[in-house]
Amino acid sequence: MHSTKVEHAAIVATEIAQNILRHGGGGQILVEIFGAPALERLHIVGHDEGPGIGRVDRMMRDGETTKGSAGTGLGAIKRLSDRLDIFSEPGRTVVAAEFRRQTIRQADPVDHAGFKLAFPGERRCGDIVAVRSSHDECFYFIADGLGHGVKAAGAAAAAKKSFLAAKGDDPAEILLQVGNALQDTRGAVGAVVALDRSHGRLRYAGIGNISTLIVQGKTVRRLVVRDGLLGGRLTTPHQETVELEKNAILVMHSDGLNTLRSLDTQATLLQRSAPVIAADLMANNLRGRDDASIIVSRVSQARTL
């Protein structure tokens, strides 16, 4: 990333943190680099449980403030970011800023995000999120290394390396290649989704307790999970192919999050961009006793600010 963008990202992170403390009474910031190789994006997302922003459009104007500050925070974040999206209602606010490599077209229609959090107290995360692209498809991967700590993180890192290097475009075959690469580790569970936006099709394969959901309007479909372990005894992954509507949203997460329920009732949130959806679901569903990870990908790009 260009040095000027690095400076802009630092300013945006500071502004988001100050807003969380000043207006939200505290909260959390998620920072993640996510994207296919050479197409990575930096997401900086703030989440708080404060009173919310009554008029987002008004508060985007310089000089508007509710706490006696200079009132330039949200306006500055929008100017310095490549993309900004905000979701706010009483009790929760999510501010998601995105920075892209110079080589990525600003009109790139892919709207996706992935986040991970380590087990409380650990410095390394035993979950990984990854994506690679091929022609019209994006291949999404979540792996959860067995347990937590250094050895779980090692298994997850090996899984990501194998996924990015795997040959072919069949999700089940990719998972089997990952499993072979994990034979000398403690192992992991994982799922691969190939999402073809141009043809409205999703292909899925999974081994172990990674949850994969497809939200289409008021319908939520949970894909089948097959017990097993990547790196253990060879297990044939469960496979499915699903036809998608243009409003479809893919959600994948590890068991560090509670089972996601009532997604069909969160229509306002689901209209927002992938980073906002992912960060909100992460913040509101953490178990707090394991590593946690989530990927959200939209078939069609959401409108942002």
Which tokens sit at 276?
Answer: 């906002």
Q: Which residues contact 141 (CB under 8 A, 6 or more apart)?
A: 128, 129, 130, 131, 132, 159, 160, 163, 174, 190, 191, 192
Statement: residue 151 has pLDDT above 80: yes
The reported pLDDT for the residue numbered 106 is: 57
Q: pLDDT higher for 24 or 121?
A: 121
Distant-in-sequence, close-in-space partners of 121: CB < 8 Å, separation ≥ 6: none
Give residue-wise pLDDT tens across range 115-130.
999 999 999 999 999 9
DSSP codes joined into one string, the chain: --HHHHHHHHHHHHHHHHHHHHHSSSEEEEEEEESSTT--EEEEEEEE-SS--S-HHHHTSTT--SSSS-S-HHHHHHHHSSEEEEEEETTEEEEEEEEE-TTS-TT---EEEEEEEPPTT-SS-SEEEEEEEETTEEEEEEEEESSSSHHHHHHHHHHHHHHHH--SS-HHHHHHHHHHHTTTSS-EEEEEEEEETTTTEEEEEEESS-EEEEEETTEEEEPP-----BTSS--PPEEEEEE--TT-EEEEE-TTBPPP--GGG-HHHHTS-HHHHHHHHHHHHB-SSS-EEEEEEESSPPP--
Task: Give the count of alpha carbons within 13 A of 127, CB side only.
Answer: 24
More confident residue, 54 or 101: 101
The answer to whether domain 3-100 has CATH 1.20.210.10 is no
Q: Which residues contact 236 (CB under 8 A, 6 or more apart)?
A: 172, 226
Choice between 260 and 65, residue whose per-residue pLDDT is larger: 260
Q: Is the pLDDT of residue 63 over 80?
A: no
Strand partners, 206: 191, 238
Asked whether residue 208 carries a pLDDT value surpassing 70, the answer given is: yes
Report the distance separating Cα 300 and Cα 272, nearest Å. 11
Among positive and negative, which fits the CA dihedral 140, 145, 148, 150?
negative
Record the tokens describing residue 138, joined without a space. Answer: 């994006």
CB 20 within 8 A of CB 56: no
pLDDT band at 69 (very low <50, low <70, confident <90, very high): very low
What's the average model confidence in pLDDT over 267-286?
96
pLDDT, average across residues 285-293: 95
pLDDT number for residue 61: 66
* % the chain with pLDDT above 90: 78
Q: Judge whether 48 and 25 are in contact, CB under 8 Å.
A: yes
pLDDT above 70: percentage of residues in the chain: 92
Tens digits of residue pLDDT in 209-239? 999 999 998 899 999 999 999 998 878 999 9
What are the pLDDT digits (tens) for 162-180?
Answer: 999 999 999 999 999 999 9
The reported pLDDT for the residue numbered 126 is: 97
Q: Looking at residue 103, what is its pLDDT?
A: 64
Q: What is the mean pLDDT of residues 286-302?
A: 95
Q: What is the pLDDT of residues 183-194, one digit of tens each?
A: 999 999 999 999
Q: Band of the pLDDT at 70, cuts 50, 70, 90?
A: very low
Take residue 60 and report the two structure tokens written for it: 């985007």
Q: How far apart are CA 49 and CA 29, in angstroms?
A: 12
Mean pLDDT of 194-205: 96
What CATH number was assigned to the domain covering residues 111-298?
3.60.40.10
Write down the pLDDT at residue 303: 81
Q: What is the pLDDT of residue 64?
A: 46
Residue 228 contacts residue 238 (beta carbons within 8 Å): no
Higher pLDDT pick, 55 / 208: 208
Give the pLDDT confidence score for residue 71 in this predicted structure: 37
Domain ranges of the chain: 3-100, 111-298
Whether residue 66 is predicted with pLDDT greater than 50 in this model: the reply is no
Model-wide pTM > 0.85: yes
State mean pLDDT over 34-53: 93
Averaged pLDDT for residues 63-84? 70
